[in-house]
Amino acid sequence: MTYICSACQYKYKGTIIEVHGIGGPCVIKPNGDIYQRLIKKQAGILLEFCDLPDEEVNKLRTGGGCEAME
């Protein structure tokens, strides 16, 4: 079986966060680009997101991950 994998995306407090397999989470612009610098509010939201329990994080997932292809 073949799988297609992409970074998982989550929406937390109106902010889109992408978690890669390497490098840690990052905040994403609405057009899909990664913010190179975060404002204080985004940094705070990202830190809160990282402290959430896994069960809560799974509820916030909006896309990405691995999907099987037939």
Give all strands of the β-sheet with 15-19 in edge-to-edge order.
25-28, 15-19, 2-12, 61-69
| Mean pLDDT by groups of 10 residues along the chain of 70 residues | 90 93 87 90 94 94 87
5 pairs with which residues across the strands? Answer: 66
Q: Determine contact, residues 29/35, Cβ cutoff 8 Å.
A: yes
DSSP 28: E
The pLDDT of residue 21 is 77
Pairing mode, if any, of strands 2-12 and 61-69?
antiparallel
User: What is the value of pTM for the model shown?
Assistant: 0.83
- Residue ranges per domain, the chain? 2-69
